[in-house]
Amino acid sequence: MTQARTTFHPGHDGARLAVHRLGQGRPVLLLHGLFSSAEVNWIKYGTAQRIADAGFEAVMPDLRAHGQSAAPHDPAAYPHDVLVKDLAALVAALGLEDYDLAGFSLGARTAVRGVLACLTPRRLVLGGMGLEGLTGWARRGGFFVDVIDRFGTIERGDPAYFAQSFMKSMAIDRVAARLLLHSVDDTPPEALAGLTMPTLVICGAEDQDNGSAPRLAETLPDARYVEIPGTHMSCVTRKELGEGIAGFLAG
């Protein structure tokens, strides 16, 4: 497996953001999920390598408060849609003009809001995301705020237990994560008509964490749905994720 190249670039406010790159060719911005990182979401299980092997350059930022990127504790560092602001700053800093955009879970939500705000990728990939995960984020975000507030006391059998375990394994900065969660907002269903580029909705067969992925694909103007094996957590370990994304982008 080829080693990813890592550089650092300023976010919208100058915060230091890590960007990992693998392969050569048409750039594909890959945005990881909540409490994860580019390493865990895209690199560790070979997804980025499969995309690179298909002739693309995988460009994988660590989102603010994740991975090797800055995790400030100042509330002012987390304005509304801060991840979208960071994404637009990275697209400009990297000089991306003709590119594709993919995200998983929180990354998919960020990709959607990025397109609705200003970005114009050729193709869009939304992984681990259903319609309700976009239109009803407040409930989902509240779940994770509760995990942070009860961190260290949640016992096995509690629905929040696995989220707590993942946060522990990723050494998440809980102060920064809590601030970040409050910067994310619902996306009105009528706004999704603005996602006019060809879109792939790809989701694990046992993944209902963010609602119905088939319903999301039906709602978008030009989307197809692909089901792969796994749950919300396990599907990122499957080869089918990288194969599905690469096949769609190359099509």
Per DSSP, the residues of 187-198 read --GGGGGG--S-
Is the pTM higher than 0.85? The answer reads yes
Sheet with 124-127, edge to edge strand ranges = 5-10, 16-22, 56-61, 26-31, 100-104, 124-127, 199-204, 223-228
How far apart are alpha carbons 35 and 174 in whole angstroms? 10
> 178 in a domain, yes or no?
no
> 172 in a domain, yes or no?
no
> 65 in a domain, yes or no?
yes
> 72 in a domain, yes or no?
yes
Sign, CA dihedral 155-180-34-175, equals: negative
Domain count, the chain: 1
The tens place of each residue's pLDDT in the chain, 251 residues long, gives 679 999 999 999 999 999 999 999 999 999 999 999 999 999 999 999 999 999 999 999 999 999 999 999 999 999 999 999 999 999 999 999 999 999 999 999 999 999 999 999 999 999 999 999 999 988 899 999 999 999 999 999 999 999 999 999 999 999 999 999 999 999 999 999 999 999 999 999 999 999 999 999 999 999 999 999 999 999 999 999 999 999 999 98
Neighbours of 170 (CB within 10 A): 17
pLDDT at 1: 65
The CATH number covering residue 23 comes to 3.40.50.1820
How far apart are alpha carbons 157 and 199 in whole angstroms? 37
**Positions of E strands within the chain:** 5-10, 16-22, 26-31, 56-61, 100-104, 124-127, 199-204, 223-228
> 174 in a domain, yes or no?
no
> 125 in a domain, yes or no?
yes
Q: What are phi and psi of 152, to 5 degrees?
A: 90, -10
Q: Is 112 helix (H, G, I), strand (E, B) or coil?
A: helix
> 145 in a domain, yes or no?
no
The one-letter code for the residue type at 17 is: L
Neighbours of 76 (CB within 10 A): 8
Note down the domain range covering 63: 5-132+188-250
pLDDT at 167: 96
pLDDT at 210: 96
> 159 in a domain, yes or no?
no
Q: What are phi and psi of 118, to 5 degrees?
A: -170, -15
